[in-house]
Amino acid sequence: MKVFSALFTLLLFFSILPSSLAQVQPQDVTIIRDSYGVPHIYGKTDADMVYGLAWAACEDDFNSVQENYLATIGRLSEVKGKDGAIMDILAHLVQASTKARELYNEKTFPAHYDNLFDAYVQSVNEYARLNPDEILLKNVFPINKVDIIAAHILGTSIISNVHIEIVRAIQHNLDLFEVPQTAGSNSFAANKNKTVDQSTYLAINSHQPLSGPYSWYEAHINSEESGINIHGGTFPGGMFMFIGANEHLGWCHTINYPDHVDVYKLKMNPKEKLQYELDGKWETLEEYPIKLKVKLGFLKIPIKKKYYISKHGIVIKNKDGFYAIRFKANKDIRSSMQWYEMNKATNLEEFKTAINMQLLPGMNTVYADKEGNLFYISLGKFPYRDKAYNWQKILPGHKSELIWDKEIHPISEHPQITNPQAGYIYNTNNPPFNCTSKDESLHPEEFDITFGFQTVENNRGIRTRYLFDQKDKLTYEDFKAIKYDVGYMDPIFNGAMQNLEIMFHLDSLKYPKIAPSIRLLSAWDRQAKTDREVGIVSIALSNMIEELFKEGLVPGVNTLSEGFIVKHVTKAQKSVLKHFGKVNVTLGEVQRLKRGDKDFPIGGMPDVLAAMNFEKDKKGKLKAQMGDAFFQFVKWDKNGNIEMEAINAFGASSKPESEHFDDQIQMYLNQELRKIYLDKEMILKTKKREYHPGG
Rg (CA), the chain: 25
**Residue 141: CB atoms within 10 Å:** 17
Cα-to-chain-centroid distance, residue 461: 17
In this predicted structure, what is the pLDDT of residue 552? 60
Over 50: is that where the pLDDT of 577 sits? Answer: yes
Length of the chain: 695
In the prediction, which pLDDT does 174 show?
A: 58
H/E stretch holding 429 reads: none
Q: Which helix (H) or strand (E) holds 145?
A: helix 145-159
- Please determine, for residue 556, whether its predicted confidence score (pLDDT) is greater than 70: no
What percent of the chain clears pLDDT 90, i.e. is strictly above it? Answer: 81
Q: What domains can you pick out in the chain, each with its CATH number?
A: 262-327 (2.30.120.10), 497-608 (1.10.1400.10)
Local confidence band at 555 (pLDDT 50, 70, 90 cut-offs)? very low
Give dist(CA 545, CA 542) in Å, integer. Answer: 5
Res 176: pLDDT: 46
- 207 by Cβ neighbours in 10 Å (0-12 / 13-18 / 19+) ranks as buried
What is the spatial order of strands in the sheet that 630-636 belongs to?
424-427, 186-190, 200-205, 630-636, 642-648, 674-676
pLDDT in tens, 190-205: 999 999 999 999 999 9
Question: Averaged over 590-613, what is the pLDDT?
Answer: 95
In the three-class reduction of DSSP (H, G, I as helix; E, B as strand; rest coil), residue 178 is classed as: coil
Half-sphere exposure of 309 (CA within 13 A, CB side): 10
Q: Which pairing describes strands 186-190 and 281-284: parallel, antiparallel, or unpaired?
A: unpaired
Give the C-alpha separation, 112 to 359, whole Å: 18
The arithmetic mean of pLDDT across residues 375-398, rounded, is 96
| Strand duo 39-43 + 612-616: pairing | unpaired
Q: Check residue 547 and give its pLDDT.
A: 84
**What DSSP state is assigned to residue 268?**
B
Query: Angle at which helices 335-344 and 111-130 pack, to 10 degrees?
Result: 100
The chain-wide mean pLDDT, for the chain, equals: 91
Q: pLDDT digit string (tens) for 226-257?
A: 999 999 999 988 999 999 999 999 999 999 99
pLDDT of amino acid 296: 87
- CB distance 628 to 607 below 8 Å: no
> Hey, is 683 helix, strand or coil?
helix
Using the predicted structure, report yes or no on whether residue 434 has a pLDDT greater than 50.
yes
Say which residue, 676 or 490, is predicted with more confidence: 676
Q: How far apart are CA 455 and CA 441, in angstroms?
A: 14
Average pLDDT over residues 265-283: 97
| Residue 181 confidence class, pLDDT cut points 50, 70, 90 | very low
Neighbours of 685 (CB within 10 A): 11
For range 256-264, the mean pLDDT: 94
DSSP three-state, residue 440: coil
Dump pLDDT digits (tens) for 337-348: 999 999 999 999
Reported confidence tier of residue 299, pLDDT bands at 50, 70, 90:
confident
φ/ψ bin of 6: left (φ > 0), alpha (ψ from -120 to 50), beta (otherwise): beta
Backbone angles phi, psi at 683, to 5 degrees: -65, -40
Cβ count near 431 (within 10 Å): 23
Peptide bond into 555 cis (omega under 30): yes
Per-residue pLDDT band at 161 (split at 50, 70, 90): confident
pLDDT given for residue 553 in this prediction:
60
- Is the CA virtual torsion 164, 383, 411, 453 positive or negative? negative
One-letter identity of residue 128: A
Query: pLDDT category, 17, cuts 50, 70, 90?
Result: very low
Q: What is the pLDDT of residue 558?
A: 66
Please, is 401 exposed, middle or buried when counting C-beta atoms within 10 Å of its C-beta (0-12, 13-18, 19+)?
exposed
DSSP SS3 for 238:
coil
Window from 292-301, 351-360, 556-565, 629-638 with minimum mean pLDDT: 556-565
Q: Is the pLDDT of residue 504 over 80?
A: yes
Tell me the average pLDDT across 268-293: 96
Alpha helices of 37-144 — where are they, by DSSP H?
46-72, 77-80, 82-93, 96-103, 111-130
The number of angstroms, rounded, from the C-alpha of 157 to the middle of its chain's C-alpha atoms is 12
Q: In this model, does residue 560 exceed pLDDT 50?
A: yes
pLDDT band at 2 (very low <50, low <70, confident <90, very high): very low
CB 150 within 8 Å of CB 96? yes
How would DSSP label each residue in 321-362?
A: EEEEEEESTTS---HHHHHHHHHH--SHHHHHHHHTT--S--
* CB neighbourhood size of 133 (10 A): 4
pLDDT tens digits for 621-673?
Answer: 999 999 999 999 999 999 999 999 999 999 999 999 999 999 999 999 999 99
Question: How far apart are the C-alpha atoms of 595 and 649, rounded to whole Å?
Answer: 9
Q: At what angle do helices 162-170 and 145-159 cross, to 10 degrees?
A: 70
> pLDDT tens for residues 47-91?
999 999 999 999 999 999 999 889 888 999 999 999 899 899 999
Say which DSSP state 403 is in. S
pLDDT attached to residue 12: 32
Q: Is the pTM of this model over 0.85?
A: yes
